[in-house]
Amino acid sequence: MQYIQIMELFTDEQLARQYADGSDQALEVLIQRYLPLVYGFVMRAIGDAPQAEDLTQEIFLKVWRGIKKYDPDKSFKTWIFTIARRTLIDYFRKKKIATVSVVESDDGNSDIFETIASDEPTALERLEKQELEKELEEYLLKLSPEDRMLLLLYHGERITFAEIAAINQEPLDTVKSRHRRALIKLRKLMQNGQ
């Protein structure tokens, strides 16, 4: 078994410690783990693939520069998504545009990605899924960047409310309230066809 494959068995926090101790391979494994997650989050937030690639590179540059300051006693996932969120906020301030979000279904299930996904979709199901995702992304882009990022973190990246509270440096109840309000706003946009 290769050294990198063995390192994949370590936790994020263990890998961060190893990188701080001089193991470049540890950082490589962390990047491999988080690159698709961070890029997906950014892409859904801004809806522009080339810009999402640029921002993702910027985020990982910040991770590389700051990882020696990272506290391995805290969640690495929370730390990296804090960097991603702040980078997006800076981007939105500069561009004054919006991000992507998620919807709550009529049965109370708030995970739209789970609703859309299928184990073995037919061609028609794939087409319907693409159309629904496109429609959802259009509505999500009409929400404020803060609302979209909150919904993306919770539903798209499966980050808990407690972790989002840490990322946003807000009380847990505030995050939950903002989440609910964002879902209501998105639902109204969809119902009104705006």
Chain segment 45-57, per-residue pLDDT in tens? 888 899 999 999 9
Assigned architecture for domain 99-194: Orthogonal Bundle (1.10)
- Backbone torsions φ then ψ of 161, nearest 5 degrees: -60, -40
Distance CA 17, CA 80 (A): 15
Asked whether the domain spanning 99-194 has the same topology as the one spanning 1-97, the reply is no
Chain segment 69-111, per-residue pLDDT in tens? 888 888 999 999 999 999 998 898 887 643 344 444 444 444 4
Contact 186, 140 (CB under 8 A): yes
pLDDT of residue 152: 87
Mean pLDDT of the 151-169 span: 90
Contact 100, 47 (CB under 8 A): yes
Contact 140, 148 (CB under 8 A): yes
Structure tokens that stand for 122 in this block: 């037919």
Domain 1-97 has CATH 1.10.630.10: no
pLDDT of residue 113: 46
Contact 121, 129 (CB under 8 A): yes
Using N-to-C axis directions, what is the helix angle for 76-95 and 24-46, rounded to 10°? 40
Q: What is the domain partition of the chain in residue ranges? A: 1-97, 99-194
pLDDT of residue 157: 85
